[in-house]
Structure 1
Amino acid sequence: MASMLTVHMNQRQGETSYARNSFVQNGEQKRMKPLIETAILDLCPSTSTLLPTKMVIADLGCSSGPNAIALVLIAVEAIHNHYHQFLQPPPEVSVLLNDLPDNDFNMVLKSLVTLRRSNKSIVMTGVLPGSFYERLFTSGSLHLVCSSNSLHWNEPDPGV
């Protein structure tokens, strides 16, 4: 358990930071778009009278930098598009981003400001530091949970 609290990506914007070296992860997130859109369609009924007025989305292992809000942006856009088809106002959406406590949450918070400004409906946002191997949320509180990639570290071989 102690290793989960000490292992983290290189922070900030330096040459070796995750924010500058996460292009592969970004590509994987883009490939998840149809899956997230399908999940939203499964969550939202196909009649305008039964559409939820509130939705909660979480991204487990959101990281930091340009990828921090990529999956939730896809989900929020899919929600807006679905509601637009029924000429209904979009629901209030709460977005929760999770990562290990040593994540650069300052970068994540800056991403959340961008997210809140980019949408016309109310988007409440928050961060939740902690391991997703432990309980983070109350029962039945989430509509959609995303988690795309995790990085794995190996101890260096002392013989190399």
Structure 2
Amino acid sequence: MTEQLSTVETRLAELGLSVPEVVPPVAAYQPAVVVDGVVYVSGQLPFVDGALPLTGKVGAEVTEEQAYDLARQCALNAIGALKAAVGDLDRITRIAKVGGFVASAPTFTGQPKVVNGASELLGQAFGEAGQHARSAVGVSVLPLDTPVEVDLIAHVR
């Protein structure tokens, strides 16, 4: 018997994507914690098959377009953490808040465009429930020299 895909997973499949296994923590934290119907997803790096596809600063070693794709991967990994925490992704009633962190070269100011990679994927995956409040912040460095990190807060029924 095959597992039935959630609506979210079906939408992702239509984009040629699948929900990855939760990325193991790289330090002392949990990938996601559920408290009183709210899921707090820890900062997700753009790991693909256990490795970072790119490292460095956006606007220097990494282009804005590459960083957009990395933010999208961060969001996909966040969806994996959500699934591990709640089981059925259709239980998510709202992505409430997304935080995007972009390791930026000193003159780079396109952080909002980079974090759109995460925001747009969440909207495609969750539909109206994926529309969220957000911050997009430039920082000097991120863990493992990753160019992008994304965290989120979601509501679950």
TM-score, scaled to structure 1: 0.42
Quick one: higher RCO (CA 8 Å, sep 6+), 1 or 2?
2
TM-score, scaled to structure 2: 0.42
